[in-house]
Homo-oligomer: A and B are copies of this chain.
Amino acid sequence: MKKRVLLIVCDGLGDRPVRKLEGRTPLQAATKENLDWFATQGACGLLDLISPGVCPGSDTAHLALFGYDPSQIYTGRGPFEAAGVGMEVRRGDVALRCNFATVDEERRVLDRRAGRIREGTRELAESIDGMEIDGVVTHFKEGTEHRGVLLLRGEGLDPRITDGDSHEIGGPVLEVKPLVPQAEKTAHVVNEFMSRATEALSDHPVNLTRKGQGLEPANFILPRGAGKFPSIPLVREKWGLRFAAIAGVALIRGICRSVGMEVLDVKGATGGLDTDIEAKIEAAMRALEEYHVVVVNIKAPDVAAHDRKPGLKTEVVERIDRSLGMLREGIQEDWIVAVTADHSTPCDTGDHSADPVPLLVFGDGVRRDDVVTFDEISVAVGGLGRLRGVDLMPLLIDLANRSEKFGA
C-alpha cells in the first residue's frame, strides 16, 4: 500500500538538562501521553539536522528536512525570508533581511526595531518599493512587526557583501562593503538604496504621526543576511510527490513555498505562543487527503526557549501533546507520522545549539522498538539510531512505499 507522510516539526524542541527542572529537559518534565504513545508504538532516534556538532539555523534545518543538503545549496537567509513575505523570488535574485530602524541626524542607530513598530509598515514599504539603481530594480516588502525584505533583481548581482546592521545601539549605520570584487555593484546598490530610503521615510506621514505620538520613527532600513536564490529542483521534481506545508512563521512559509510546496493558510496559526496548534493538526489531517507529504511547523517551543522559560516550554510541549490526541484518534492506516524538531534551543542559553533532536516515526510497517518515552535521552537508544536531517525525508518516503530503487 502506498502511504502518505505527515512530518510534524516542533521548532526548537530539543533542549539540555535544565537546573530549574531538576536536571530534566522540558520534554522530560512534560506530561505527554500522546507523544509517548506514538513513541511506544513506533521507532525513535536522534537527528543531527546538518551533522553532529554543527549548529543549524531554522532555514538550513528545514531545507535538510525536505531532503536538500544545505552545505551544497545555501548562500544566505534573505531569499527564503523574501519568499516568506509573499515576494516572488527568481533564480539570480539577491535578497536581504531588513529591519525598520530609528536613526538620528548623524545616522547613529537609536533603535534597531523602530520601537517594535507594528502599524503602518505596509505604507512605509510601499513608499520605498520599486526603485531603479544602476539598472537593478529594488523591491521592498514589509514582514511581521519591524521586519522587511529587500529584493534586488538585475544583471551581475552577488550576495557576498557585509551587513548594514551592526546589531549595536548608538553606533553609526554601517556602509555595506563587497567581500569579493564581483560584489561591488551589489554593495553600491544596497548603500544607495539605504540613502534614498531614509530620505523617503523621514517625512512619511506614518512617521510624522508616530513622532506626534512620541513614538520612534521608522526612518531607516538596516539590511543584513544577503543571499542568492539557489538553483534547486522543486519538491515535486525531486520526489515526484505533492507537498503541502502549514506554518505561521514567514521564514518557514518562505522556504516551503520556494521549494514548491503548497503553503496552506490556517486560521489561528500565528507562529507565536498564541498559535492554535489544534487547528494546525486538524488542517494537516485534512490535507493528507490531497497531498502525499504534509509538513507542519509549530514554532511555539522555540519562542519559549528563546525567552529562556523552561516552565513555559514544558507547557507548550503539553499543549502540543494534547493536540496530538486528535491525530491519535483519527489516525489512518496509510499514514506515516514523524515528529521531530529543526534544532535544539536550550532554555539555558536561549539560542540554537547543535545538540541532536529527538525523532519518532510511527505507522504501519515501522519497526517498533523498546522506547516508550519521547525525550532527548530516551530516544538515543531507539531503533532509528542517530541520523542526519537530510536522510529523514527519503526514509519517510520509503516507509510510504514510494521510494525509487538505486540500482536494479
A residues with a Cβ closer than 8 A to B are: 16-17, 23, 25, 46, 50-61, 70, 74, 77, 97, 225, 251, 346, 348-349, 351-355, 365-370, 376-377, 380-388, 391-399, 401, 403-408
Asked if A58 contacts B367 (CB within 8 A), the reply is no
**Cα of A74 to Cα of B370 in the assembled complex, Å:** 38
Which residue of chain B has its CB nearest to the CB of A383?
B380
**Cα of A408 to Cα of B384 in the assembled complex, Å:** 28
Residues of chain B within 8 A (CB-CB) of A384 are: 380
Pick the 4 closest A-B CB pairs, nearest first. A57-B407, A53-B394, A60-B407, A53-B395
| Chain A interface, DSSP helix/strand/loop, else mixed | loop
**Cα of A371 to Cα of B345 in the assembled complex, Å:** 25
**Cα of A354 to Cα of B387 in the assembled complex, Å:** 14
Residues of chain B within 8 A (CB-CB) of A16 are: 365-367
Residues of chain B within 8 A (CB-CB) of A348 are: 365
A377 touches which one: B70, B346, B368 (CB < 8 A)? B368
Which residue of chain B has its CB nearest to the CB of A348?
B365
Residues of chain B within 8 A (CB-CB) of A395 are: 52-53, 354
**Cα of A397 to Cα of B54 in the assembled complex, Å:** 9
Asked if A17 contacts B56 (CB within 8 A), the reply is no
A54 touches which one: B51, B54, B59, B394 (CB < 8 A)? B394
Asked if A403 contacts B251 (CB within 8 A), the reply is no
